[in-house]
Amino acid sequence: MDNLKPVRVNRNRLETNLQALAVYGHNGPSKGITRPFGSQADKEARAWLSTLWSRHLELQVHTDPIANLWVTIEGKENLPAIVVGSHHDTVTNGGMYDGAMGVLLATEVLQTIQEHGIQLRHPLKAVSFSGEEPNSFNVSTLGSKVATGKLSTEDLFEKRDNKGTVLFRETLHELGGDVGLLTNAIITNQEIGAFLECHIEQGKKLESKGLSLGVVTKIIGIYREKIIVIGEANHAGTTLMHHRYDALTAASELLLVAEKAIVACKSDEVVGTVGYLQVEPNSTNIIPGQVEFILEIRAVDSPYKERIIKEITKGFNEVAARRKVEVQREVILDQAPKPMNAELMQALEHGANQIGEQVARLISMAGHDAANVSDVTRSAMLFVSSVNGKSHCPDEFSRIEDIAKAGNALLEAVLYLDRKLD
Amino acid sequence: MDNLKPVRVNRNRLETNLQALAVYGHNGPSKGITRPFGSQADKEARAWLSTLWSRHLELQVHTDPIANLWVTIEGKENLPAIVVGSHHDTVTNGGMYDGAMGVLLATEVLQTIQEHGIQLRHPLKAVSFSGEEPNSFNVSTLGSKVATGKLSTEDLFEKRDNKGTVLFRETLHELGGDVGLLTNAIITNQEIGAFLECHIEQGKKLESKGLSLGVVTKIIGIYREKIIVIGEANHAGTTLMHHRYDALTAASELLLVAEKAIVACKSDEVVGTVGYLQVEPNSTNIIPGQVEFILEIRAVDSPYKERIIKEITKGFNEVAARRKVEVQREVILDQAPKPMNAELMQALEHGANQIGEQVARLISMAGHDAANVSDVTRSAMLFVSSVNGKSHCPDEFSRIEDIAKAGNALLEAVLYLDRKLD
């Protein structure tokens, strides 16, 4: 760190890499990217990234048993590593920034440090986690879950895809992983002292403040219930209105009860969604006999969540009694909010200030690999402003100026942490 | 007609035939029957019925180009035929009476007349129409639509099933039909002077009046709209509640607006249903961007229908404006109510009275082949009481006593019409 001129990332190279990776899984002009875990596009993206790391950075790529991809620049001292990274998979018809940007910023930080001949005290690693997005195996943040001991060989050995035709272990094998050795993918705070994930915000908070960058204070908790409404399927012509037990009109009321309870919190840190709903038998001339839906609530403070659940329970019971339908509820996910590490948050703020950027502190309303990693070691996230807040769609966009700023803030934060952490 | 003792159908034979036909497509103990148009079960049921008609009745079975099955007992005079019949296909997991009962009652009427050596003035035909129920080709009352000129070779030549893999004309060919010759299946009032269809009520009106039989005055009109709600798909975590254009919560409101408008008519002759609804992209963590559903309204009197559509339009526009979503509506069916023929209704009542039965006059809330046939020639329907009003489900049931009464009333009506009609 004896340079007089500050070290900066290469914006053109960063932009080129973003465009190059976006080729894999691209659905054509004005369309999005489909690169889910285990797809042909996933394999191609992994091959491209491995080539970039092994040829351009001349680092040896390590594929762990869950197929997370790692590279390491060794440190001068025997200290836990500093890790930067994100994921390279996408949702169906998603954008080119979610995940990919974080991996390529990590790449850029390593390459910049390398080409300036900077020798760090800590090992510095880049990582691209496997299967962060929802996929056909119904597991999201797959790579970080396994790496933090939340999913084991036992959980995944017999797992199949949605259609029951593809074995998870075979897909993993094709990616270079090995379901029998998952304990070898587990990370500890002895090996890794800090994890920094840079990601697009996917919301409008930074944009509305006119800021390029934000530091995440907490990753929101996610609560999901599977709800089954059981009415009675019957002939849509011959069954009088007052003889009906229509599961779909009942479910419609339940959705509005839930929406009302969520909106009533009047908080920007509480959202709730029914994204999935299935009608049985789903035939024009048969009164719906059963409706299944998944209600998701994301709330930062638990009292909000409890209040919503109380309101919903009251409303659901009233609707069930009045319409004489059965409402079955099952909690399928109840993930607590994850606070980020204060030292790392401060390092990211310091990094941003070094390049003259003000940052906002904000809550992540989306789940991320950093939420899992925070259970094991210090973790923090840097957000980049999303234009119009759009994400998980072809219109997802962040400006290259803002992305380059994130790269430099991340670089400064790494240099700062390398001095501070032991 | 010189017998002193009245001619009566054979109840045991009727019951045996009902059980025998119910074998084809049966899904196992306590389960229903699945015998849609073109299925293996359809083919087996046709083969069984053809054998019954050709061996037991010694009549030559005629399969017309749309694969409707016909048999004829010739008359003494050159007059249009009297036809009795229904259909032998079923919905998915349906019951053993809907359709099959009418075909076997027709069979029983012909066989009873034959074995008593009764020589009618008119030809007497039994018919089993093809594909009355909804099926994978999305055409219901198929056989009677073609027979009354509502569907032509041109309409059906290139038609494929839901999945786009099966050609309609190939399925029809397997059943003995020929899509190129559909004009030859068309019936006229020169050939057919009367059509009597006996069917289960599928509702609770007869049961609540303590009656076995009913005469249908009208077959209800069916109106269907395909409605597409267009919102904006977005991230379920990062999109604030007041930045959402959720197509599913909007659709929920629309369903309740429609239900309210239908119930407000306070008429047992008005029902409405949303049986089909599809969410896009239907993923737990994405706000629904689009919802498609089909709204069906069945109303006897047009003013009711108009009033409901007016209310719905008002409500839909209000929801669309408030939630800033687009609501696209398309009328996909608008079938007028079909009045039944007064002379034939009177003949059925006369027939019931001959066996000491009181009958109710009632409206059919379901569509039937008789609705199509009524466009071409005199048509009427006799309803048999449904226990608990259940239909299109394994619990569908009518008592054999009531079914035998229907057979005798039908027989008496045929003998009466044979005397009256020219």
- Give dist(CA B330, CA B385) in Å, integer: 36
Q: Which pLDDT score is estimated for B156?
A: 97
Q: Which pLDDT score is estimated for B1?
A: 46
The amino acid occupying position B136 is S
Please list, residue by residue across A346-372, b when 16 or more beta carbons sit within 10 angstroms of its beta carbon and e when fewer do: bbbbbbbebbebebbebbbbbbbbbbb
Integer angstrom CA distances of residue B251 from A124, A178, A275, A281, B275: 51, 45, 13, 19, 13
Residue that has been written with the tokens 């500890």 in this structure: A188
Q: Is B226 exposed, middle or buried (0-12, 13-18, 19+ CB in 10 A)?
A: middle
Compare CB distances from A248 to B237, B272, B274 and report the shortest one's residue.
Answer: B274
Mapped onto helix, strand or coil, the DSSP state of residue B22 is coil
Nearest CA in chain B to A256: B249
Give percent above pLDDT 70 in chain A.
99
Which of A241, A295, A322, A386 has the most B C-beta neighbours within 10 Å, making it the best mutation to test the interface with B? A241
Using pLDDT thresholds of 50, 70 and 90, give the confidence band for residue A4: low
Integer angstrom CA distances of residue A150 from A115, A169, A173, A182: 37, 17, 20, 11
Please give the angle made by the CA atoms of A236, A237 and A238, to the nearest 5 degrees.
105
Give the distance from residue B259's alpha carbon to the nearest chain A alpha carbon, in angstroms: 8
Q: Does B224 touch chain A (CB under 8 A)?
A: yes
pLDDT in tens, A227-242: 999 999 888 998 999 9
Q: Do residues A130 and A142 lie in contact, with contact meaning Cβ atoms separated by under 8 Å?
A: yes
Q: How many CB pairs under 8 A join A and B?
A: 188
Q: Which pLDDT score is estimated for A342?
A: 98
pLDDT in tens, A160-204: 998 889 999 999 999 999 999 999 999 999 999 999 999 999 999
- Give dist(CA B98, CA B34) in Å, integer: 12
Complex-level ipTM: 0.83
Within 8 A of B233 by CB-CB distance, chain A residues are: 392-393
How much of chain B is in helix, strand and coil states, percent to nearest 5? 35, 25, 40
Residues in CB range of A36: below 8 A, 6 or more apart:
A42, A89, A90, A91, A92, A131, A133, A135, A136
- Give dist(CA B194, CA B376) in Å, integer: 10
Using pLDDT thresholds of 50, 70 and 90, give the confidence band for residue A144: very high
Across all residues in chain B, what is the average pLDDT? 95
Mean pLDDT score, B2-16? 87
Q: Does B354 touch chain A (CB under 8 A)?
A: no
Long-range contacts (CB closer than 8 Å, 24 or more residues apart) made by A352-357: A352/A213, A352/A215, A352/A382, A352/A405, A352/A409, A352/A412, A354/A6, A354/A408, A354/A409, A354/A412, A355/A6, A355/A405, A355/A408, A355/A409, A355/A412, A357/A211, A357/A212, A357/A213, A357/A405, A357/A409
At residue B107, does pLDDT exceed 90? yes
Q: Does A338 touch chain B (CB under 8 A)?
A: no
User: HSE-up of A188 (CA within 13 Å, CB side)?
Assistant: 5
At residue A259, does pLDDT exceed 90? yes
- Give dist(CA A410, CA A197) in Å, integer: 9
Q: How many CB atoms lie within 10 A of CB A310?
A: 11
Q: Do residues A98 and A140 lie in contact, with contact meaning Cβ atoms separated by under 8 Å?
A: no
**Does the beta-carbon distance from B275 to A288 stay under 8 Å?**
yes
- Give dist(CA A384, CA B323) in Å, integer: 30
Beta bridge partners of B380: B196
User: HSE-up of A161 (CA within 13 Å, CB side)?
Assistant: 14
pLDDT in tens, B91-101: 988 999 999 99
Within 8 A of A274 by CB-CB distance, chain B residues are: 248-249, 288
- Give dist(CA B188, CA B376) in Å, integer: 6
CB contact residues (below 8 A), chain B span 168-207, against chain A = 201-204
Q: Do residues A344 and A409 lie in contact, with contact meaning Cβ atoms separated by under 8 Å?
A: no
Using pLDDT thresholds of 50, 70 and 90, give the confidence band for residue B289: very high
Q: Does B72 touch chain A (CB under 8 A)?
A: no
Nearest CA in chain A to B386: A238
Within 8 A of A132 by CB-CB distance, chain B residues are: none
Within 8 A of A390 by CB-CB distance, chain B residues are: 234
Kindly tell me the sign of the dihedral angle through the C-alpha atoms of B141, B147, B148, B153: positive
Considering A133-142, A293-302, B296-305, B355-364, the range whose residues carry the highest mean pLDDT is B355-364
Mean pLDDT score, A277-297? 94
The model carries a pTM of: 0.83
Compare CB distances from A271 to B237, B262, B272 and report the shortest one's residue.
Answer: B237
Nearest CA in chain A to B202: A238
Within 8 A of B222 by CB-CB distance, chain A residues are: 237
Mapped onto helix, strand or coil, the DSSP state of residue B54 is helix
Q: Which pLDDT score is estimated for B4?
A: 63
How long a stretch of residues is chain B? Answer: 422
At residue B3, does pLDDT exceed 60? no
Q: Which strands form A270-280's sheet, in the order they lie side by side?
A: A270-280, A290-299, A221-230, A326-335
Q: What is the DSSP string of A179-205?
A: GGGGGGG---TTTEEEEEEEEE--SSH
pLDDT in tens, A316-335: 999 999 999 999 999 998 98
Mean pLDDT score, A292-315? 93
CB contact residues (below 8 A), chain B span 111-170, against chain A = 134
pLDDT in tens, B109-118: 999 999 999 9
CB contact residues (below 8 A), chain B span 289-318, against chain A = 294, 296, 298
Task: Dump strand ranges (E) for A142-181.
Answer: none
pLDDT in tens, B236-277: 998 999 999 999 999 999 999 999 999 999 998 899 999 999
Compare CB distances from B283 to A275, A287, A367 and report the shortest one's residue.
Answer: A275
Give the distance from residue A3's alpha carbon to the nearest chain B alpha carbon, in angstroms: 40
Q: Does B239 touch chain A (CB under 8 A)?
A: yes
Give percent above pLDDT 70 in chain B.
99
Q: Does A8 touch chain B (CB under 8 A)?
A: no
The amino acid occupying position A361 is R
At residue B165, does pLDDT exceed 50? yes
Give the distance from residue A333's alpha carbon to the nearest chain B alpha carbon, in angstroms: 12
Residues in CB range of B280: below 8 A, 6 or more apart:
B233, B247, B288, B289, B290, B291, B292
Give the distance from residue A58's alpha carbon to the nearest chain B alpha carbon, in angstroms: 37
**Does the beta-carbon distance from B286 to A296 stay under 8 Å?**
no
Integer angstrom CA distances of residue A75 from A7, A80, A85, A113: 18, 9, 18, 12
Tokens of B116: 């008593």
Q: Do residues A360 and A205 lie in contact, with contact meaning Cβ atoms separated by under 8 Å?
A: yes
Mean pLDDT score, A209-225? 96
Give the distance from residue A336's alpha carbon to the nearest chain B alpha carbon, in angstroms: 14
Within 8 A of A235 by CB-CB distance, chain B residues are: 202-203, 365-366, 391-392
Tokens of B211: 């009656």
Q: Does B286 touch chain A (CB under 8 A)?
A: yes
- Give dist(CA B414, CA B416) in Å, integer: 5
**Does the beta-carbon distance from B275 to A365 stay under 8 Å?**
no
Q: Does A394 touch chain B (CB under 8 A)?
A: no
Nearest CA in chain A to B250: A256
CB contact residues (below 8 A), chain B span 41-60, against chain A = none
Q: What's the DSSP call for residue A220?
A: P
Residues in CB range of A421: below 8 A, 6 or more apart:
A79, A80, A82, A122, A193, A194, A343
Integer angstrom CA distances of residue A204 from A27, A268, A365, B79, B384: 26, 11, 11, 80, 63
Compare CB distances from B237 to A241, A243, A365 and report the shortest one's residue.
Answer: A365
**Does the beta-carbon distance from B237 to A286 stay under 8 Å?**
no
User: HSE-up of A52 (CA within 13 Å, CB side)?
Assistant: 24
Tokens of B301: 């009197």
Q: Does A31 touch chain B (CB under 8 A)?
A: no
Q: Do residues B98 and B50 lie in contact, with contact meaning Cβ atoms separated by under 8 Å?
A: no
Tokens of A139: 């597991």
Q: Do residues A261 and A187 lie in contact, with contact meaning Cβ atoms separated by under 8 Å?
A: no
pLDDT in tens, A49-93: 999 999 999 999 999 999 999 999 999 999 999 999 999 999 988
Long-range contacts (CB closer than 8 Å, 24 or more residues apart) made by A306-309: A307/A261, A307/A265, A308/A258, A308/A261, A308/A262, A308/A265, A308/A270, A308/A272, A309/A223
Q: Do residues B115 and B9 lie in contact, with contact meaning Cβ atoms separated by under 8 Å?
A: no
Q: Which pLDDT score is estimated for A335?
A: 87
Nearest CA in chain A to B362: A238
Q: Does B393 touch chain A (CB under 8 A)?
A: yes
Task: Give the orientation angle of helix B100-115 with respect to helix B400-420, to 10 degrees.
Answer: 60
Q: Do residues B316 and B257 lie in contact, with contact meaning Cβ atoms separated by under 8 Å?
A: yes
Q: Which pLDDT score is estimated for A162?
A: 82
Mapped onto helix, strand or coil, the DSSP state of residue A146 is helix
**Does the beta-carbon distance from A391 to B238 stay under 8 Å?**
yes
Within 8 A of B94 by CB-CB distance, chain A residues are: none
At residue B171, does pLDDT exceed 70? yes
Give the distance from residue A181's alpha carbon to the nearest chain B alpha carbon, in angstroms: 31
Q: Does B211 touch chain A (CB under 8 A)?
A: no
Query: Pick from A308, A392, A319, A222: which is nearest to B252 by CA?
Result: A319
Compare CB distances from B277 to A203, A248, A366 and report the shortest one's residue.
Answer: A248
Q: Does A90 touch chain B (CB under 8 A)?
A: no
- Give dist(CA B278, CA B111) in Å, integer: 48
- Give dist(CA B290, CA B248) in Å, integer: 7
pLDDT in tens, B382-420: 999 999 998 888 899 999 999 999 999 999 999 999 999
pLDDT in tens, B56-65: 999 999 999 9
Phi-psi region of A339 (alpha: psi -120 to 50; beta: other; left: phi over 0): beta
How long a stretch of residues is chain A? Answer: 422
Q: Which pLDDT score is estimated for A1?
A: 46
